[in-house]
Chain A
Amino acid sequence: MRRKKRKGDGGGTGRPVDPPGDAIVHAEGLSKTHRGDRAPVHAVRDVDLTVRPGEFVAVTGPSGAGKSTLLHLVGGLERPDAGRLWIGGERVDGHDEARWAVLRRRSVGVVFQFFNLVSHLTVADNVELPALLAGASPRAARASREELLAELGLDGREDALPAALSGGEQQRVALARALVNQPALLLADEPAGSLDGKGTRDVLRLLARFHARGQTILMVTHDARMASAADRVISFFDGRIADDAPLGDPAPARPGVTGVLDLND
């Protein structure tokens, strides 16, 4: 199998001892096996991964390939059985839950397929809560919340409860919550997985907008249209990276790009 390795990604032999200084995510030999009633599932096997500042990386692959587990490991939502992990240059694979909670609050925003908003809190409170927990003043939390909700087209929805919102709106609230502390890394696990076409386009457009401003994003998706918004796509198969492809920056689509019609070749 051809596997293109970038300098500094490590892999196989000769792994670097220290992570590249500027990496937002750096993982070496990350492994996770799920042990339930059935045979053990090797969800992530000896994976090396580096995400640099400002990158938008999509991880795609069939369901059950382990891509969500990989994202959970990077966000500290699951612990690896083996391997080393750095977030923003800080070694984190030995962190306990309390330290992970602090790290996520400060540096890692997460959005999930099913939004996971706090159902009895208003939209405003859902977004302000992580800011307050991170030590922001109520006034600052409120200002950040107002700015983000306006940006995400949720003006006037501050006092609504999540259940009163459409799926697309709930995901935008979740995005605001994930970004309120200006995390160095945004993790997105199938962010459009439960949305309709319009909701999907909205989420995609917003992710692209934050990425254009420099937000580092690691997203898991089975949807190639979502993945193609990223500038690097990792194909994940059977717990391993099968391909790691930078997407080109094609010339701006010229009028009448014949590619559309060539699709039926």
Chain B
Amino acid sequence: MRKALLWCWALLFSLAAYSQTKEITGTVTDSRTGNPLENVTVKTKGGKATALTRIDGTFSITVDQKIKELVFSYVGFEDMEVPVTASSFNIQLLPSDKSLSEVVVVGYGTKVKRDVTGSVAKISAKEITNTPATSFETAIQGRAAGVFVQQQNGKVGQGINIRIRGAASVTAGNEPLYVIDGIPVITANLSSNGAQTNPLADINMNDIESIEILKDASAAAIYGSRGSNGVVLISTKKGKSGTSKVDVSYFTGFQKPTRKMKFMDAQQYVDYFMKAAIGGGKQDYIYYPDDYANEQEAIDASIAFVESRLTRYSAGNEDWKTAKVNTNWQDLAFQDAPISQYDVNFSGGNDKTKFFASGQYLDQDGIMVRNNYKRYSGRLNVDHQMNNWLNIGMNMNLARSNNFRISNDNAFSTPLQIVALSPITPEIDPRTGLPSGQLDPNTGAPNTNYPVYYNPLLSVNNASYETRVNRTIGNFYGNVKLSKHLNFRSEFGADLLSQNEEAYYGTVTARNTGVPNGSGFFTSDEILNVTTNNFFNYSNTFKEIHALDVSGGMSYQKQTRTSSLAEGETFPSDAYKKLQSAASKTDATTESTEFTFLSYFLRANYKLNDRYIIAVSGRYDGSSRFGTNNRYGFFPAASAAWIMTEESFMQNIHWLNFLKVKASYGITGNAEIGNFDWRGLYAGDAAYGGQAGQRPIQIKNPDLKWETTAGMDFGLEGSIFNNRLGFEIAYYERRTRDLLLDVEIPSTSGFTTQLKNIGNLTNKGIEVTLNSTNVSNKSFRWTTSLNFAANRNKITNLGGQVLGADQNKAKEGEALGIFMAREFAGADPANGDALYYKNTLKTDGTRDRTTTNDYNEAQDVVIGNPNPDFIYGFTNTFVYKNFDLDVLLQGVQGNENYLGGGQYMSASGSNGFDNQTLDQLGAWEKPGDITMIPEARLFYGNGVNPSSRYIANGSYLRVKAVTLGFNLPAKIAKKMKLERLRLYARAQNLFTITNYVGWDPEVNSDYQVSNINQGVDFYSAPQIKSIVFGINIGL
């Protein structure tokens, strides 16, 4: 035997000597199960040779003599480097799930993902960097299970709503708490035009290292009375020791609306309104028979009236008769919209000091005319180890943004309301050579009734509205190592937001503003948010099996806001746009408000034998917002996890690599209400005729307190098939009680509502996340990630009230925000009247399904639900050699939208001269016609009252993000003296599959959005589709 071996050695040696190569053989097994592993890649380090293991785990590879090390790599296992000290090896690879060893940020600390007992979603920098969008929330849409992100519309830098595991409140806030590097930040809307601003847009998303979303009560309870809506923890990038890097990136591209609607052209419009004239004339005769000799006379009068109006809207001539002018007004509301972003960042450090510095400039045009957003931001994060016991650092972010905004969706001047204008109206009035509506030659002033409404294009050059923000978010921290196991951390953070809004509306906008000689305003807001966190952390392992981790401390936050407004009108000319020149200063106010939170918190984790984990936490929270009788609340939580795969009885299940079951229960609160809602108040805002006055504005409620949500969560986490497939499944129930409710009270009291703690609602749901590595070999890698979430929201008690001033309602037994109105039954085949199902309750409990043309005779029923049945995201990533492709599909299913503009634009031409959507051509015309569109009857509002006529399917599936990238091979890059170079093309909202009949199904009309009002489309700008081309260079 020994001889044979020697022979072999000799042979090998001689072969090697001959070819300067040698052959190495061996077997690769799974270190946990001992099973052989097939298709493990065996590579030489620094050489070209590679090989794969066979089915029995054996391999052989011929390597150059100079080779010193072999590298074994296999999906789901840690790479292993082995020095070539022999010609035969038995390799045992260690299973690894990178996601399990990942560190996740939790409130006041970090944890290894494997040990997390609550429900925390993590989104990493890679997924969001360089998204061509204004704010990072857009970038996380579809990336995390159970996180519903909805941008209100396609105007840049404006409101985005996020619901984590459903809405927990009816009238208090429903947005999560945002915490950046440990400090809660300002999210208050400071807009004065009725559409929300988004203070989170001040954050440069390329500065973000990770976003952790605390979803369940046990994770969020450490944030106590503000944890009910979930917590979004944002960590910014830090430098790493031993490296010095410069990254420069740039992208540029163009943007378009995701979708457009179809409206009548000039000929269709004229024909249709002539029919509406006849329909209207017939009704005139029915209603006012004494005024006409016969029906024909009424019709003739109506036609004459419509003809006179068509002439008016046709710039005073009769071009409408030949449809000579055919203006596509919708197209004129959109603009070419370039987007560019410039980034540079530096990072590096040594053992003692680490830094990250970045600068960014974003210039984004909105897709709607005169909409633009610019942001300049800079960041410096420094961390320094003073000595062996003290570590200090700071994170500092400065940002400046200029948002050139457009009016809210409900304003005649918002660009998309342009679709109401008649296609027979020319863009340029031939009588003046100026844009239609700008000048009435008879009066020398803007037209007052031509075109049919104010022309929003007049605002493009003659009005301005700019929102300027200066933002400083900074914190300073110190870590004191008190002993080997005990640390103390003190953080002091400030978030200073100062915003100006300045508007000027020129003389030609008079029809819109009602002010003939120019008007303007200036607002100034300053919010200072100061927070200090001071807490201890004790971490130790006893007898190698008892791991204990305890954090506890206090937090104090104070936020003060001061605001001012000045308003003036009557300017010498449009050349003067500052209030100094306003002859009449019409309004001036200053205001201030503040709130404070004082909190104590504690969290303890205990882990036994690396497999049994229990965690408890609690927060004792006091807030100035609550009544004297209920100043402080206590918010405890407990959770446990069991890592089953650590147990010996599981060791034989070879396909199962990791399995954890977990459960949690906790109490969180919601304190997002006004700062002085518990007080009975008089306000001094009741001046009359130049004399000061005061008036009662609020009834007292000293018992007012936070809303309480009790949440439980069961979860299963694991990975199988050599960690190729990872999964997370969660079921949760969140029960909210003591809802902060604006309770309707008899208005004969002089008040309409009182804020009380009444009511309950629940959210129940499941979430599934799957991550799989489908293919992974030397040159090709394909991974897939799927997340799915279904939430059921139900209001169980509202004290019998139905809340909601519009079609959205909050009603017991239903989901928050359901649409309620009459059920539309189409046109009466006999006469074209709009019909409604009566739906009155009969004595036997069923509803009367007969129809009526009397709107009042029918009853409101639930006609739709803006809450989706489920939401999902589906990501596929392909890497082939130096190319990579990443495709994110995002979908929302089972929700309805309400077409708020339908009463005007899809109104059977019976509600004014608004241009109509194409489908209205199918209106009832003669007895026997079966159609859902009632007869066209000008000014008779035939079926335009709120009803299910205007409910639309809001489900959609979107190709949300596609990135195609090319990384220059390292060798070539090096030759160019570059660390790396990447070229890419990226598309956002590339393609949308939907049956929606409005513009874009992702909509929440900005002027009326609230907890209850969701999913309403009212001339809302569609979402932005963008395609950009970018380059990243690393030096």
- Same complex origin of A and B: no
